[in-house]
Each structure stands twice: as structure tokens, then as C-alpha cells.
Amino acid sequence: MTVSDSLLYTGPFVLFVALLPLQRVLPWPPLWLNLGYVVIMVCALAAIWRKIPDLQPGKLSVRSWLGTLAIGIFVFLMWVVPDRLFPAYHHSIIFENSLTGSVSAGLSEAARSQPAVLWLRAFRAVVIVPIVEELFWRAWMMRWLIVPDFLAIPLGTWSARAFWLVAVLFALEHGALWDAGLVAGILYNWWMVRTKSLGDLVVVHAISNACISIYVVAAGRWEYWS
């Protein structure tokens, strides 16, 4: 294992995160911002795809479609149900503070009225995010925390320290929605340990994000698209 192996797994996620603030400061129309984001990420993934062992066809097979579908939908429900039952739920100091930030709309009003922007944003959530996040969190970090030579151990290798640390860090990535992120992190980690399949994790993450994306557009709850 070399540093370059880790970079292959972590690079797309780092690029993805680095591009986020640029979208907020560049004075470009929403369509060009979102299109540029998607094109850059697709090109980055295409450039390294064949170099990552866990992205080869055999490793991307889905071993449990029923379980993957059920967990994906359950995570979606845990994401939106608390706010439906208690409208002020995520506006308490536990969630909105100087550390986690606040819940805010991820798209401007101008962007929301453009179907092309919505399709690009959904593509990002359903296709790009599951790949880059699962490569980083569960294909790399969950193994790297066990042993730096992470490719020497199988996907889904159990370690309580790695399991819970990744779950907590994954939760913090989601800011004021950290509680939903924690539920998702725990379930996704458990599913990786159970299936030992990156394909299952990419698909379960995609299902959750697809359901959230449909809900965002249908209900106008833009805060779920950060």
C-alpha cells in the first residue's frame, strides 16, 4: 500500500468538498455552476475509476437488494420525519450552533425555478455523492483506522473503534442535520460490515438520496439539499 492508494480513495471526496464553497462565491448563473460541478466530478471519477480495486465490477455487485432497499428508505424517513412531526426540531441549539452551523436552503430561489439545475443537483446527490462518500468513509477510512495498509484487509472488516469513529465523523459532516447523519452513518457502517460489498453501500446511499431529492422538490424542503 502506498500514499497514492489512499489518495485514489480520498481524492474525489476532498475535491467534492473543496468545490462546495466555490459554488457560493463564484458569480456564475446557477446552471453553469451546477453543470461545472457535475462535469468536474464525473471527469475526476472517470480518470481514477480503473485504478481503484473496489470499483471493479466484481466488487460493485449488490448482494442484498431487499435489505439495501429497506435501509435506504428507512434512512430517508429518519431524515425527514422528525421535522414533519416537530417543525422546530432542527432549530434548537442542539442542532443549530457555532459548531454545526444552521439549517438553510442549499439552492437559491433563482436555481429552484430551473428544471435543468434541479436535474443536475439530483444527479449529484444520487450518483456522485454515494460514490465519493462511500469510497472515502467506508471503503477507505473504516479500513485505514484499523491498519494503514487498508487494502490488505477486506471491506467491512469489523473494528468497534473504526465503526463508531466513522459514524460520528459522518454525522458531523452533515452539520445541523448531524442526528440524521449519525443514524445514516451507523446503518451504512453496519451494512458494510454485514454485506462487505461496496456495491450495496453505493446503492443504499443512492436510494436514500434519491428519496430525499424527490421529497425536496415535491415538498419544497430545500434545506435537505445543502
> Could you read off the pLDDT of 28-83 as tens digits, one per residue?
899 999 999 999 999 999 999 999 999 987 778 888 999 999 999 999 999 999 99
CA distance 30 to 12: 22
Euclidean distance between CA atoms 180 and 95, whole angstroms: 11
Instruction: Return the CA Rg of the chain.
Output: 17
Q: Transcribe 7-69 into DSSP letters.
A: HHHHHHHHHHHHHHHHHHHS---HHHHHHHHHHHHHHHHHHHGGG-GGGSGGGG--S-HHHHH
Q: 133 pLDDT exceeds 60?
A: yes
Residue 62 is part of which domain span?
Answer: 3-224
Q: If you search the block for the grid coordinates 470499483, which residue do you land on? A: 55
User: How is residue 177 annotated by DSSP?
Assistant: G
- Do 208 and 76 meet the contact criterion of CB atoms below 8 Å apart? yes
Average pLDDT over residues 150-156: 96
Q: For residue 141, is pLDDT > 80?
A: yes
- How confident is the model at residue 137, as a pLDDT? 98
Least trusted range by pLDDT, from 57-66, 109-118, 183-192: 57-66
192: which residues sit within 8 A by CB, 6+ positions away? 138, 142, 155, 156, 198, 200, 201
* 95: three-class secondary structure by DSSP: coil
Q: How many domains is the chain partitioned into structurally?
A: 1
For the stretch 155-173, pLDDT in tens is 999 999 999 999 999 999 9
Residue pair 82/89 in contact by the 8 Å Cβ criterion: yes
